[in-house]
């Protein structure tokens, strides 16, 4: 019987992380940012039908970058998690923190146990009701969970976008101003023509289901 080669765990984790990072670096970025009355999610996305941003529950939205089939599987799992919880208990019992934790557990397990890690980063946003604060969680390929304040970026240019936005963002503005600010940050970081926008909001002023996709006309109108 042949013995498998010994690979030190440090090396194993380093290789996996490098592999995942390479995959994510190819993906276009997404930014989530608070505005007055809600949370905006803005993604660079040339497709009009394949979405990266999606509704999870009444107050919760999901955005994923990286390999499509992988973040799509996580999106579906997230919707199942939320709908199950809401059905078995009650609608107010579905919260972003629990969901982000579940994503973190899942991605962490996949990172250590699977042949190949997921090449994805996930953003979970929640709009607060009754004066509660909004929440933005970021989950990376290895299951690390970040709790961000004000805004959050994921994807290939996440670090640059974060530092660019940190200079511009002070406090929540109007929706249109927020779209403009994020779009300008994208333009500055990417240094090229943006291929197309996908945008959605969690509108804290609407009842029950707060998620709403912005139409291309609405996005275009925000720039005028």
Instruction: List interacting residues with another protein (CB under 8 A).
Output: 51, 54-56, 73-74, 76-81, 83-84, 86-88, 101-103, 105-106, 108-110, 113-114, 209
Which residue stretches of the chain are H helix?
9-26, 68-88, 96-113, 158-168, 175-190, 216-222
Return the number of the residue (17 or 73) whose C-beta is nearest another protein.
73
CB closer to another protein, 96 vs 183: 96
Q: Which is nearer to another protein, 184 or 212 (CB)?
A: 212
Shortest distance in whole angstroms from residue 4 CB to another protein: 21
Q: Nearest CA to 140 among 162, 182, 168, 111? A: 111
Phi, psi (rounded to 5 degrees) for 189: -75, -45
Of 64, 96, 69, 68, which is closest to residue 81 (Cα–Cα)? 96
Smallest distance, another protein to C-beta of residue 159, A: 27
Residue 224 CB, nearest distance to another protein (Å)? 27
77 vs 13: CA distance, rounded Å: 25
Distance, in Å, from the CA atom of 120 to the CA atom of 63, rounded to the nearest integer, reads: 10
User: Residue 34 or residue 119: which is nearer to another protein going by CB?
Assistant: 119
Min separation Cβ 95 and another protein, Å: 13
């Amino acid at each position: 019987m042949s013995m498998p080669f010994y690979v030190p765990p440090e090396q194993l984790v380093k290789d996996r992380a490098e592999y995942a990072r390479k995959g994510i670096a190819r993906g276009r970025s997404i930014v989530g940012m608070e505005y007055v009355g809600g949370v905006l999610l803005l993604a660079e996305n040339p497709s009009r039908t394949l979405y990266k941003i999606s509704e999870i529950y009444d107050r919760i939205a999901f955005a994923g970058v990286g390999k499509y089939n992988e973040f799509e599987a996580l999106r579906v799992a997230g919707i199942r998690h939320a709908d199950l919880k809401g059905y078995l208990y009650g609608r107010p019992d579905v919260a972003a923190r629990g969901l982000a934790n579940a994503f973190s557990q899942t991605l962490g397990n996949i990172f250590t146990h699977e042949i190949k890690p997921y090449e994805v980063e996930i953003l979970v946003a929640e709009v607060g009701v009754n004066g509660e604060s909004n929440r933005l969680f970021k989950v990376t390929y290895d299951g690390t969970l970040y709790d961000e304040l004000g805004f959050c970026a994921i994807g290939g240019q996440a670090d640059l976008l974060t530092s660019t936005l940190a200079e511009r963002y002070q406090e929540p503005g109007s929706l249109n101003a927020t779209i403009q600010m994020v779009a300008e940050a994208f333009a500055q970081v990417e240094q090229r023509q943006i291929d197309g926008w996908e945008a959605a909001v969690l509108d804290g002023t609407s009842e029950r289901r707060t998620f709403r996709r912005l139409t291309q006309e609405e996005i275009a109108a925000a720039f005028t």
